[in-house]
Chain A
Amino acid sequence: GAVVSQHPSRVICKSGTSVKIECRSLDFQATTMFWYRQFPKQSLMLMATSNEGSKATYEQGVEKDKFLINHASLTLSTLTVTSAHPEDSSFYICSAHLTGGRSYNSPLHFGNGTRLTVT
């Protein structure tokens, strides 16, 4: 069964509004979660690392004020796309290590993604 849950699976919003996406680890604690974005027929691009109890770290070129990340607890990370525009329309996917990030080599497990459409 799923070990990482994302909500909502789909969202449509109007340009200029903000959208929040939730990522939950099920039955395990994750001190670190990772947010990716994927455009159609393209690969996953790492956006940022969500850290419980501290600030997220962003990959080069990702606007931290545009994509707000909050890791409120050991099982929940949220990504808020602020003042969304049509170019932000994409598939956003979160992930976590089952070990919570404490193991050196362990696979990432992914949620089923959130399809964001900005009109």
Chain B
Amino acid sequence: GESVGLHLPTLSVQEGDNSIINCAYSNSASDYFIWYKQESGKGPQFIIDIRSNMDKRQGQRVTVLLNKTVKHLSLQIAATQPGDSAVYFCAEKGNFNKFYFGSGTKLNVKP
């Protein structure tokens, strides 16, 4: 499958600060991307998605940025809260609606 990777395995931030989680993808033909949050012992939870015809999309406290030129995706979380502590994955859509996941970043929010 396609290769989707992350550079930072762990990110520690202070409560109230903004967090930025990055992801690199390899398939320039990918046209749809998703960010997921996974808490310990649970399945991934959908956060936000973006189509390749957009470069930015905002949700509640979250923003996803897509840079197709360098095949880079980021997730910004505003005013990070302790409840945001989890592992975050980006996922890239491949053929037949299959999704391939990046290696994940653990976000640790310090009170």
Question: Measuring CB to CB, which residues of chain A are less than 8 angstroms from any residue of chain B?
Answer: 4, 6, 32, 34, 36, 42-46, 49, 57, 59-60, 93, 95, 97, 101, 104-113, 115
Are A34 and B44 neighbours in the complex by a CB distance under 8 Å? Answer: no
Q: Which residue on B lies nearest to A93, using beta carbons?
A: B43
Q: Are B43 and A43 in contact (CB-based, < 8 A)? A: no
Of A4, A101, A115, the residue contacting B97 (CB under 8 A) is A101
Which residues of B are at the interface with A, using a C-beta cutoff of 8 A?
1, 31-32, 34, 36, 41-46, 49, 51, 89, 91, 93, 96-104
Contacts of A93 in B (CB 8 A): 43-44
B1 in contact with A59 (CB, 8 Å): yes
Q: Which residue in chain A gives the minimum CB-CB distance to B89?
A: A43
For B104, the closest partner residue in chain A by CB is A43
Collect the chain B residues with CB atoms within 8 Å of residue A45's CB: 101
The 9 A-B residue pairs whose C-beta atoms are closest, nearest first, are: A110-B43, A105-B32, A44-B101, A112-B43, A43-B101, A113-B43, A110-B44, A107-B46, A93-B43
Using A44-B44, A93-B43 as known contacts, list a sample of 13 further A-B pairs with CB atoms less than 8 Å apart, ordered by residue number in A.
A34-B99, A42-B103, A43-B102, A46-B101, A59-B1, A93-B44, A105-B31, A105-B32, A105-B93, A109-B46, A110-B45, A112-B43, A113-B41
Q: How far is the CA of A105 from the CA of B93 in the complex (A)?
A: 8
Min distance, Cβ A75 to any Cβ of chain B, angstroms? 17
A-B contact pairs, 11 of them (CB 8 A): A44-B44, A46-B99, A49-B96, A49-B98, A59-B1, A101-B97, A105-B32, A110-B36, A110-B43, A110-B44, A110-B45
